[in-house]
Amino acid sequence: MLKLPSRSWGVSMDYRLRKLAKYIRGWMGYFRITEYYRPIPRLDQWIRRRIRCCFIKQ
């Protein structure tokens, strides 16, 4: 289970964003969508919403 976007994970926002970026790059590489990336709308919306929730809670 991905704990990166959890609002209760007690880490700094900078650390959280770096770990999330690393995870997403790995995911994109695994599924071979790195050459031409157009944000997948639903996934992109979910990630942005979770980041906003984490920022507000912090």
- Residue 12 above 80 pLDDT? yes
Do residues 4 and 20 lie in contact, with contact meaning Cβ atoms separated by under 8 Å?
A: yes
pLDDT value of position 1: 45
Distance of CA 3 to the CA centre of its chain: 10
List, for residues 17-57, the tens digit of each pLDDT value. 888 888 888 877 777 765 566 667 777 888 888 888 888 87
Separation CA 19–CA 14 (nearest Å)? 9
Return the higher-pLDDT residue of 48 and 10.
48
Separation CA 5–CA 57 (nearest Å)? 12
* Domain residue ranges of the chain, discontinuous segments joined by +: 13-57
